[in-house]
């Protein structure tokens, strides 16, 4: 950040520069007037001429400063939109959740083991949805953490830099594929494939949704971990090599421990992504909220419940309408906690090396 940006606009600097310009102009006028008509060139005359130019430039200066302030205010307001968004999210979620908890007790929400707000016999226990989300995220992390970390190590420590520069963006295409495409892939490719090996696998299941989600998150883990490892100073590696360590030892005993908080930050962010992922679970995991730890059967995640209700026509103010905000608030609290935790780790990491 340049210093002038910190102090803001300094009007005196502006005036001074214009003053210099004014003097030059005045001098030029002087020359031309001398050569042509030659009016009486008294000291008084010159003073007046200069004053005229200078007051005019001061006025222009004020206009310029006013414009400057206005533009700065507009830019500031644009930056505030992000704060407004957060406030909007918190406000919307909390007000509807508040209405929800006026009709359903928070104890039922946290202790009941059934989630059936769309049936005649209504139960409002969040656990089936929470467990559904937990299982699918766990499977996704079991895929993406080891593979992502291995890929990151491969890219940053083993692969020749030129190859890594090509492979990394290609791998990142995986993260750019729309999630609805992954949903299609999980339901119509991975599930039939798995059913050949696991005959009792249902058409909708947490296993294939989780596996596919893992591959979706892999580039995120790989890319962020690789960035963290690249930030480890070369001197640390060279020191370890000088002590006679092999490449593997340098990776495991120097690079990974030194970049651990960066890697942890990447992992936490990946968990947060898995928890909030919607389309894969909405398409491939099913719409059956049940409290089970069996990944082979249909379940429902928090996000897919929100999609299920949104697809129907639920009028504003009904209990069904409020449930999606209550579920959304739970989701928001979980992901927000994870994000802040990840930010914490990342900050600590940056403090060490940057």
- x-or-dash string of contact with another protein, 308-347, rule CB under 8 A: --xx----x-------xx--x--xx--xx--xx-xx----
Site for another protein in 16-35 (CB under 8 A): 17-18, 21
Residue 208 C-beta: closest distance to another protein, Å: 13
Q: How close are the terminal C-alpha atoms of the chain, in Å?
A: 16
Site for another protein in 272-291 (CB under 8 A): 272-273, 275-279, 282-283
Q: Determine, following the binding rule CB under 8 A, whether residue 5 of this chain makes contact with another protein.
A: yes
Site for another protein in 168-187 (CB under 8 A): 170-171, 173-174, 176-185, 187
Burial of 139 (0-12, 13-18, 19+ CB in 10 A): buried
Count CA within 13 A, CB hemisphere, residue 348: 13
CA 259 to each of CA 231, 272, 351: distance values in angstroms, whole numbers, following the listed order: 8, 20, 12
The stretch near another protein (CB under 8 A) out of 103-111, 155-163, 235-243, 290-298 is: 155-163
Site for another protein in 42-71 (CB under 8 A): 64-65, 67-68, 71
Burial of 273 (0-12, 13-18, 19+ CB in 10 A): buried
Q: Determine, following the binding rule CB under 8 A, whether residue 98 of this chain makes contact with another protein.
A: no
Q: Which of 129, 141, 155, 228 binds another protein (CB under 8 A)?
A: 155
Q: Which of 78, 107, 234, 242 binds another protein (CB under 8 A)?
A: 78
DSSP conformation class of 298: -
Show Cβ contacts of residue 84 under 8 Å, excluding neighbours closer than 6 positions.
none
Site for another protein in 248-277 (CB under 8 A): 248-249, 251, 269, 272-273, 275-277
């Amino acid at each position: 950040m340049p210093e002038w940006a910190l102090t803001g606009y300094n009007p005196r600097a502006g005036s001074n520069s214009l003053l210099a310009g004014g003097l030059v102009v005045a001098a030029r006028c002087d020359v031309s007037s001398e050569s042509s008509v030659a009016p009486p060139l008294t000291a008084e005359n010159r003073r007046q001429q200069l004053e005229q130019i200078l007051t005019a430039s001061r006025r222009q200066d004020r206009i310029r400063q006013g414009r400057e302030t206005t533009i700065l205010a507009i830019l500031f307001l644009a930056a505030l939109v992000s704060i407004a968004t957060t406030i909007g999210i918190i406000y919307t979620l909390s007000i509807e959740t508040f209405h929800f908890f006026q009709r359903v007790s928070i104890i039922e929400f946290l202790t009941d083991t059934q989630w059936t707000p769309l049936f005649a016999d209504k139960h409002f226990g969040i656990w089936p949805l929470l467990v559904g989300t937990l299982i699918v995220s766990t499977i996704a992390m079991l895929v993406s953490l080891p593979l992502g970390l291995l890929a990151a190590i491969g890219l940053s420590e083993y692969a020749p830099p030129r190859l890594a520069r090509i492979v990394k963006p290609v791998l990142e295409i995986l993260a750019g594929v729309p999630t609805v495409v992954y949903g299609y892939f999980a339901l119509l490719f991975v599930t039939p494939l798995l059913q050949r090996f696991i005959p009792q696998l249902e058409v909708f299941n947490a296993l294939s949704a989780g596996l596919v989600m893992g591959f979706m998150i892999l580039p995120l883990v790989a890319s962020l971990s690789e960035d963290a490892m690249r930030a480890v100073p070369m001197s640390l590696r060279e020191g370890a090599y000088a002590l006679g360590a092999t490449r593997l030892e340098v990776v495991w005993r120097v690079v990974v421990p030194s970049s651990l908080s960066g890697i942890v930050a990447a992992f936490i962010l990946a968990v947060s992504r898995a928890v909030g992922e919607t389309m894969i679970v909405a398409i491939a995991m099913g719409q059956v909220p049940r409290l089970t730890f069996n990944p082979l059967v249909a379940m429902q995640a928090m996000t897919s419940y929100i999609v299920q209700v949104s697809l129907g026509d639920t009028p504003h103010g009904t209990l069904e309408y409020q449930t999606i905000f209550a579920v959304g608030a739970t989701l928001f609290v979980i992901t927000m906690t994870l994000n802040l935790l990840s930010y914490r780790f990342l900050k600590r990491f940056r403090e060490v090396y940057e």
